[in-house]
Structure 1
Amino acid sequence: MSNELKAAIQKWCEKLEIPLVGVASVDRWKEPPFQPWMPEEFYPQSIYPEARSVIVIGLPISLPVLETSPSVYYRELYSTVNSLLDQYTYRLASYLTQLGHPSVFVPRDGYIGIRALLKNPVAIFSHRHAAFLAGLGSFGVNNMLLTPDYGPRVRFGSVFTSAVLPSDPIRDEKLCSECMRCVKMCPVNALDERDYPQGLTNKKSCAEHSNELNQKGISPCGICIKVCPVGLDRRLFRREDISIYSRPDRFPEGHRAWEHAQNYGGI
């Protein structure tokens, strides 16, 4: 029954053109795969005691739009993907509940806004870690989850379900090439050169920068995921040459397009 239900979930997601879907048993949170790990209060079963499995879905961030960051263009894309994640996870939770498996969705962010992160840079639940435990990718130096198809250019949402579902295998392959472009190009030096999980993001600096951009209407930043070389999407959009971001002479027409997007819509 659990295999049949999982197949039905995957088919449901395919109909909605959701490209990334993974499942993790809540027991995986009890056996941290690395340190540092989150406190128990952030485990799925601590938030929804009936949870037995976590279903994680991922939607990609379009690279050409992200390349304009920081801009209103990227901000709108970010908001659109967030809205879709909330809608899809809500609908998936409702679908499972109607099948007799009480389930709840988890909002894609879990905080009211940037002011909340300035006060306490922690959300209600980590979708990135859930996606890792559901086998969708591996962590990079930028502390983002890297996926084979889209690198770190993915937003995730989660569903806590009472259904006992087969877990997907955790990805053993390390996708991060440790090129350190994310570290070098971070505008506020918020990243550490040490490999994850030893190298941690300076959340305060990151949040303060996001707040500055938010006041101009052009948040989020997105630089560390823009310059990451991992992901088949780079080949699709013909962006294998990462030097184009620091060398305008390598892609002058691109820089003109990005500057156009950055010059309009913000404050």
Structure 2
Amino acid sequence: MKDKIKKVFINLGAEVCGIANIDLFTDAPKGFRPTDIYSSCKSVIVFAKKIPKGLAYVSPRITYKHFNDVSLIELDRIAYAAANEIEKMYNVITVPIPSDVPYEYWDEENMEGRGIVSMKHAAVLAGIGSIGKSSLLLNAEYGNMLNISAFLTNLDLPSDAPAENICIEGCRLCIDNCPVKAINEYGVNQKLCRQNAYISNDRGFDVTNCNKCRTICPMAFGKK
């Protein structure tokens, strides 16, 4: 069953798919657990879409921003289609989760937002990757060039094995090269990061002003 479910996502355009049983989410913060959204959730299916490597070689302002957003739209499309298909296949319930926005939690003072489910932490539990010092997900094959989505289901499925941690011990490139020093050994200051990275240009379009932590990483494209 797991292989058939994963094949649905791959056929719809995902590069990676993993599964985490609800038992792994006991340490998730209250209010952000899958069962806080869907009380009968037994498993979380996590999948990811890669962005083209070339987006790491250009200014992030327009091209990177636009096509990174396209990948998020694609993830929502995959979640919607897969949810309907798997419900028909197994006569179960599926709850697709937005890959990015909208979400509810917002700390205005610290400019800290949280998705209704933490996609990167769900991805770690589902064996897709590990979290680097930059707080980006690192996958052995695709590096940090992945965007993530998930859906919840009442199918009780076994978890996939944890992924290899490919973040290089002792490497500080993302920390030392952050232009606003938003990254440290304890995490990322979202306020410093957001104020520098997400702005509007003179025409009023939203642009991405910085993606240095993604592009500077030696594991940006995975293990060589």
Q: Who wins on radius of gyration, i.e. which is larger?
A: 1
Partner of 1:159: 151
| Offset of residue 141 of structure 1 | 0.7
Q: Which of 146, 170, 176 is matched with 2:167 structurally? A: 176
Partner of 2:183: 191
Q: How does 1:1-267 map to 2 (within 5 A)?
A: 5-30=1-26, 32=27, 38-99=28-89, 100-111=91-102, 119-171=111-163, 173-177=164-168, 178-192=170-184, 194=185, 199-212=186-199, 217-219=206-208, 221-230=210-219, 232=221
| Offset of residue 67 of structure 1 | 2.5
Pair 1:224–1:133, CA change in 2 (3 A): same
- TM-score, length of structure 1 as denominator length: 0.74
Which structure shows the higher helix fraction?
Answer: 1
Which structure shows the higher strand fraction?
Answer: 2
| Offset of residue 231 of structure 1 | 5.0
Percent sequence identity over aligned pairs: 29
Q: Secondary structure of the residue that 1:204 maps to in structure 2? A: helix
Task: Give me the whole-angstrom Cα distance separating, in 2, the residues matched to 1:134 and 1:224.
Answer: 24
Pair 1:122–1:45, CA change in 2 (3 A): same
Tell me if the contact between 1:181 and 1:228 (Cα under 8 Å) persists in the aligned partners: yes
Pair 1:63–1:234, CA change in 2 (3 A): farther
Task: Give me the whole-angstrom Cα distance separating, in 2, the residues matched to 1:209 and 1:58.
Answer: 26
Task: Give me the whole-angstrom Cα distance separating, in 2, the residues matched to 1:232 and 1:219.
Answer: 20
Q: Name the aligned partner's letter for residue 174 of structure 1.
A: N
Q: What is the root-mean-square deviation in Å for CA atoms of aligned residues?
A: 2.3
- How many residue pairs match? The answer is 218
Task: Give me the whole-angstrom Cα distance separating, in 1, the residues matched to 2:37 and 2:196.
Answer: 30
Partner of 1:248: none
Partner of 1:253: none
Task: Give me the whole-angstrom Cα distance separating, in 2, the residues matched to 1:120 and 1:47.
Answer: 20
Gaps of 5+ in 1: 33-37, 236-267
Q: Secondary structure of the residue that 2:54 maps to in structure 1? A: helix
Pair 1:86–1:183, CA change in 2 (3 A): same
Pair 1:213–1:142, CA change in 2 (3 A): farther
Tell me if the contact between 2:103 and 2:116 (Cα under 8 Å) persists in the aligned partners: no
Gaps of 5+ in 2: none
- TM-score, length of structure 2 as denominator length: 0.88
Task: Give me the whole-angstrom Cα distance separating, in 2, the residues matched to 1:91 and 1:216.
Answer: 30
What do the CA deviations read for 1:116-170 (whole angstroms, capped 9, x no partner)? 8765422222100000000011111101111101211110000101111121012
Pair 1:152–1:220, CA change in 2 (3 A): farther
Pair 1:142–1:46, CA change in 2 (3 A): same
